[in-house]
Structure 1
């Protein structure tokens, strides 16, 4: 934003100084200046940049032909807007625009009938420098795109590896639980049955104590098996942990607000995964569509004991909400577990909110 205002200040200075020094009709020049100013404000719209730059050149050239009696500041204006375009236009569009501005400068110097050779040499030299700047900017953007693609692939593989490790650990825990149940559990059950028979045949209280000890051991074994068959980290704490990892990987500033009672809500693995996926999709949308690097996440406990969530990110351009695959899939996931999801936007914020029932 600072760069934009710096460029805008230079653009205004060149126009104002040109009007004050060399304009034959200041009123008409101000009309041209106002038109050029309006176009310059819209140069951040990339899809229409090339057309806007062409229109800007036409205004500058017509203004020079009709009103100006010295073309030096017109040359500077054309060179300046060409420099700005070097960082916005793609290579092919920029080459067309550069050539059009170079030809315009040469034609104006011919019509002005002064310093044609000097103008030709200087124009070619400076426009060559601008062309070099465009090549450097294009190469830098390509490198950034490749880096972002590789970084995204690395994160995807890292998450896949984490999931694979979790699955392998769960499979091993399930196998251990099954072995304990099949071996130790069955043997303890058989021992209890034998002690029961001995208790019937004998009145010694020691058999009752042994039987109770065996029952306690069997109950502890069952608890151990159940614990092994349950994933280690469940509920909101796991979701918070995963979101913090996603924040570190994506370089997003996530402002977390956890209201009172949220950590005490029991949430199954399935519902925890849905909550995490909803927040992950909301963060992805914030980066991809809003260009935002700051997101506010609020987790709370609703009046009926459900998990309430709200993800808010600032937006700079208000557009109609399009329910693509990501948002549609997100709503379906929440509805499948009995929750609800709402997506809306205000003048400067995009909001995803909803609730997920507790267990």
Structure 2
């Protein structure tokens, strides 16, 4: 591209020199007039060389007007009414302006160049009015206008192509960024899904394994005094193990089983946990449970982990659960009579509860007071427009 530009510039300078020498041949200029023409032409060449190195369109715009002035000065020093070699400089000038300058500025330079070039024809018709000279003027004017229109159209096409190239480049950059964002979103989605599955496995497996251990301990205890009761506990343990295996398979395969009502699912969770562990659970649900699978699923796992934590780490025998539904939020409280915690360290279970709550813009608080207490809420207003898009 640069080589082509240099070649065109060299050809233009060579053409100007040939045209000037040809004009001088017909001028028969001597001494002062010859020196004047040469000085003006040298200035014209210097101005053209300056244009080659300039990038600022405003400065180029001014230099083209200087070109027109110098050409007119050369014509004014000609002994002929019209020297067509000098006159051809006008065509080269407005053609170059139309191709280099923006469309509007190129048209301005072109129109002014055509007008200035017609001054000499005006003198010609004034001094020698005849059909031949009028025809020459009309022909030259028509050719100039035609060249100007073609050059303007070429510049318009060039600018449109440049705009399309810029838009295409932006489109490619946007596409590249979009692909990067998509890849990053896919990566984050995979991480979120892994975390969700990890929490579900922990909640399900931890909950059921805690119940299973309690049942096996009770079976071991009754094995020394009541074999029938011990066998019942072993059978119950076997059922718990099978249920756990079934739940784990559902989580790993990310399959959802038959949907039940949220209230029934929570009550069943509390009843089964109470039966399997022997702990007494008091469940209180206030308000109307909303139909939002994601939030209901999160609440389910929060209660599941809360009960498991009370038994596993607090050795609690009683657990009080309160759920309060309103139009603004869901408040939950899980309280037990266990040993509490002198120093609170969030393990995987408590961390999972916090992640589930904060995923919906809620807050949760842990404290030790006559046992262990988990208090929190999930706002509903911030999740009303995106009920299905939250992290589970």
TM tier, smaller? 0.3 to 0.5
**Superposition TM-score, scaled by structure 2 size:** 0.43
TM-score (norm 1): 0.47
